[in-house]
Amino acid sequence: MGSRGAQSSPPPQGIYVPVPTFFAKEGSANYDPISPPLDLDAQTEHSLFLVRGGIKGLVILGSTGEAIFVRNQERHELIKSQRKALDDAGYKDRPIIAGTASQNIEDTVELIKDSQAAGAEYAMVLGPGYFAPATSQVGLQKWFEAVADRSPIPVLIYHYPGVTNNLYIAPSTFEKLAQHPNIVGTKLSHGIIDDQTLIAASPRIDHDHFYVFTGLGQNLLPVLTIGGVAAIDGLAGCFPRLVVRLFRTYMDSSAKGTSKKDIDEMRDLQFRICEGEKLVAAWGVVGMKEAIARVWGIGSRTGGRLPLAGGFQDGEKEWAKWETVFAGLKELEEKFKAEGKEG
């Protein structure tokens, strides 16, 4: 886009998945225990599993994608391969949002430009948290505006205090950033419901052009009720139809008039999602790779780059804590698949 041009459009509303980056299994060709190569076959298998389950688009190389462990050349190869896989399978309408996790404006813009060249339609830009305690709201505003001015594709602000040294981006700062024509939304990966409300329901934000996504599926129903558009959610990487079902039930019931039956169904779905999200909260990407491999046989339970290599520290004992919940969620996912309403 460059500079302050015409208003960019946000990504389509729906459930997105911050996909794990799959690395080669032990014993595979060119395996390196320190830095195993990408496993693009597993990546593609997972991507198609998601879009067939109703996922609107993919976030590649976010926090769950271990972006900080992936080299720039690999980033390009990863994004390009998944854009091609989606296109070849008839899913040209499912956008790819590329994550960036650089502290430097010029480096961030370079990553965005390369991501666009590889096939990404949007950029999700992590806040610069290295000097979080000394960073002012004005400084943050100018940093994001400088990135958005230079970005050739629309930008979403990624607010995840857990990986940015507890960097705080105030609702008032979001109100200012939402006025930038090339900033089209945010992913809020925190549970501060009052701040989420002050952004998603703010009368000082044009919500047709600035979308609020929760980064926490466990917050999906409450965030929808306050004006958020959907979720970019980790658990949906294992149970896409489950999370999509809650989103679609909310949207359908809102359109026709919400009944008590709808509310009961949505509460039940949210409860089940919250049960599964406890694994994501406890183990992050390590837990997601374990779950996806154990439940669906996609990828490797231990396929990661140091220091995350090795999966659960006490594999079977740890999985035993989650097995009953995840077996129940798999049963629900397969029930929804059989109904054929998603995908």
Averaged pLDDT, 170-178: 98
Classified as helix, coil or strand, 184 is strand
Sign of CA dihedral 11, 17, 23, 28: negative
For residue 342, pLDDT over 70 is answered with no
pLDDT above 70 covers a percentage of the chain that reads 99
Name the burial class of residue 224, with classes exposed (0-12), middle (13-18) and buried (19+) by CB atoms within 10 angstroms of its CB.
buried
End-to-end CA distance of the chain: 32
Could you report the per-residue pLDDT of 49-97, keeping only the tens digit for each?
999 999 999 999 999 999 999 999 999 999 999 999 999 999 999 999 9
Domains and CATH numbers, the chain: 16-339 (3.20.20.70)
Q: 158 an active-site residue?
A: yes
In DSSP terms, which residues pair with 232 in a beta bridge?
16
Find the catalytic residue in 187, 211, 250, 289.
187
Q: How confident is the model at residue 201 (pLDDT cuts 50, 70, 90)?
A: very high
Q: What average pLDDT is seen over the chain?
A: 95
pTM over 0.75: yes
Supply the pLDDT for residue 127.
96
Q: 250 an active-site residue?
A: no
Find the catalytic residue in 16, 158, 211, 250.
158
